[in-house]
Amino acid sequence: MAISMSRTRPLPPGRRGFPVLGETGDWARDPLKFARDRHARYGPVWRTHLMGRPTAVLLGPEANRFILGTHMHLFSSRQGWSKTITSLIGDGLSLLDGATHRRHRAMIMPALHGAVLQGYAAEMQAQVAGHAQQWLALGELRLFDGFKRLSFDIATRLMLGPQLQDEAAECFKLFRTFTRGLFAPPAWRLPWLPYGRAWDAGQRLRPILARIVAEHRRAPADTILGTLVAARDEAGEGFSDAELMDELLVLLWAGHDTITSLLTWVVYELARHPAVDAEARAEQLALGGAALDAAALKRMPALDRVLREAERLHPPAPGGFRAVVEEFEYGGFHIPAGWNVMYSSVFTHHMPELWHDPECFDPARFAAPRNEGRQPFCMVGFGGGPRVCVGLAFAQMQMRIVMAYLLRNVRFELLPGQRFDPVAVPTRMPRDGLRVRVQRST
């Protein structure tokens, strides 16, 4: 894939769509159909116009590797995000580039990887047990909402400690409003627009976070924020208060919305596939109620396959964007600086060249003898390369603990008369939020 002489090549085929909006509506409504229709018309490289920018879409595992791995230097992550996100989140990790990104990432990694994770397991289990009790008392609920509150409570408790206390419910509401504005252009601070409301919510969240940061500076605490406060870069410098606040906003947002989405789809698929559900429950039974610690979590291959298959079919982020900072050639086409590029996880995860019967929920595809999904960059639900999700290990542990607990203790039945077709933005979920009846498992 030569990068020289790029300008002698044609621009990729495609169209601009509507003025200003381009094809953003089609993409947001159904990112998989959007990519498939255009792939059928133009092949694996084409252009469109999304969120106010000309965008080259590069499809398939090789394209994912190019964008996420081998040719990262051609792209900026920060400039690839929309103004709604950069203005609300500031300088959190996903919005940084170059040396600053490497510095922040190296300082955040120890709080979300390795031995410290084990210290989070008991809180995760206590939280899911408490929430499951509430769901049982309710009898019926929109499970997306239940998982959202559970994931938020786990994230805030582990990141910030018990300091939120009385403000937890208020913060949950503020965060919901904040998240709704992230993907809702235009970025105008008007109180009747989702972005304007998100801006106000951010202004109310920041002083609460500032207070908790100050408390952590006064007295070291055994929390993720405590680890971030103590973190030092190679020059011995720590995070400033402003940097910590932006990082907390990103970690709290990315740390609960995505997990909520994926867990909702896991329950949906298990409810529709009783044999898979039975296998996952039998695996938990065989563990004989063992505590959900590191050793037990390694002995759940059936649950792991279910989680991977849900990630393949229902990736919470359908793909990702980068801004092109250096023009290049790809697949025989010229991609100019100033455009965006997009990779599509959801398209890659449905490619018949990579997956047998890709529409089918079939966790056994990940077991021997089939062993699908081994090709690099064919499973990119958590991104890939040096910017792979920094919360990957944390998320995987949390999802295992939550699902293991629920499989051991609870049964969900899907209520009739609801719609399951996915809503993609701001968080991918079944249209009616997965309404379920909850019963204790016998």
First to last CA, the chain: 58
Choose the binding region for ligand HEM from 210-218, 312-320, 347-355, 419-427 (rule: CB under 6 A).
Answer: 312-320
Q: Decide if residue 320 touches ligand HEM (CB under 6 A).
A: yes
82-101 footprint of ligand HEM as x/- string (CB under 6 A): -----------xx-------
Burial degree of 1 (CB within 10 A; 0-12, 13-18, 19+): exposed
Paired residues of 429 in beta bridges: 423
For the bound state, the minimum distance from the C-beta of residue 208 to ligand HEM, rounded and expressed in Å, comes to 19
Among 164, 342, 395, 404, binds ligand HEM (CB under 6 A): 395
Which pair of structure tokens corresponds to residue 150? 């559970």
Q: Decide if residue 105 touches ligand HEM (CB under 6 A).
A: yes
Query: Which CB, 197 or 309, lies closer to ligand HEM?
Result: 309
Quote the Cα angle for 117-119-125, to 5°.
95
Burial degree of 43 (CB within 10 A; 0-12, 13-18, 19+): middle
What distance in Å separates the CA atoms of residue 104 and residue 241, rounded to the nearest whole number?
A: 13
Q: How far is CA 368 from CA 82, 107, 240, 269, 308, in A?
A: 42, 38, 49, 22, 15
Choose the binding region for ligand HEM from 128-136, 168-176, 187-195, 247-255 (rule: CB under 6 A).
Answer: 247-255
Among 262, 280, 300, 407, binds ligand HEM (CB under 6 A): 262
For the bound state, the minimum distance from the C-beta of residue 403 to ligand HEM, rounded and expressed in Å, comes to 12
Query: Which CB, 72 or 415, lies closer to ligand HEM?
Result: 72
Which pair of structure tokens corresponds to residue 282? 């039998």
Nearest to 118 by CA among 248, 296, 246, 288: 296
Residue type, 194: P
Q: Decide if residue 331 touches ligand HEM (CB under 6 A).
A: no
Choose the binding region for ligand HEM from 7-15, 190-198, 258-266, 290-298 (rule: CB under 6 A).
Answer: 258-266
Residues 54 to 83 in contact with ligand HEM, rule: CB under 6 A? 77
Choose the binding region for ligand HEM from 47-55, 248-256, 277-285, 407-415 (rule: CB under 6 A).
Answer: 248-256
Residue number with the shortest CB distance to ligand HEM? 391
Q: For 212, list phi and psi in degrees, rounded to 5.
A: -70, -35
Query: Which CB, 197 or 311, lies closer to ligand HEM?
Result: 311
For the bound state, the minimum distance from the C-beta of residue 4 to ligand HEM, rounded and expressed in Å, comes to 27
- Distance, C-alpha 268 to centroid of its chain: 18
Using the structure block, give the residue that is written with the tokens 């044999």.
275
Among 89, 124, 313, 390, binds ligand HEM (CB under 6 A): 390
Q: How, if at all, do strands 410-414 and 422-423 pair?
A: unpaired
Among 22, 331, 391, 433, binds ligand HEM (CB under 6 A): 391
Q: Decide if residue 265 touches ligand HEM (CB under 6 A).
A: no
Query: Which CB, 68 or 141, lies closer to ligand HEM?
Result: 68
Contact 408, 378 (CB under 8 A): no
What distance in Å separates the CA atoms of residue 257 and residue 85, rounded to the nearest whole number?
A: 15
Nearest to 344 by CA among 102, 53, 46: 46
Q: How, if at all, do strands 319-324 and 140-142 pair?
A: unpaired
Q: What is the DSSP letter of 12?
A: P
Q: Decide if residue 251 touches ligand HEM (CB under 6 A).
A: yes
Choose the binding region for ligand HEM from 257-265, 269-277, 279-287, 325-333 (rule: CB under 6 A).
Answer: 257-265
365-384 footprint of ligand HEM as x/- string (CB under 6 A): ----------------xxx-
Q: Decide if residue 258 touches ligand HEM (CB under 6 A).
A: yes
Among 81, 183, 361, 394, binds ligand HEM (CB under 6 A): 394
What distance in Å separates the CA atoms of residue 16 and residue 312, rounded to the nearest whole number?
A: 29
What b/e string do you get for 70-89 counting C-beta neighbours within 10 Å, with b at 16 or more? Answer: ebbebbbbbbbbbebbbbbb
Contact 320, 58 (CB under 8 A): no
Contact 367, 375 (CB under 8 A): no
Among 387, 400, 428, 435, binds ligand HEM (CB under 6 A): 387
Query: Which CB, 77 or 223, lies closer to ligand HEM?
Result: 77
Choose the binding region for ligand HEM from 167-175, 198-206, 256-264, 369-377 (rule: CB under 6 A).
Answer: 256-264
Choose the binding region for ligand HEM from 39-47, 197-205, 391-399, 425-433 (rule: CB under 6 A).
Answer: 391-399
Residues at the interface with ligand HEM (CB under 6 A): 77, 93-94, 105, 112, 250-251, 254-255, 258-259, 262, 316-317, 320, 381-383, 387, 389-391, 394-395
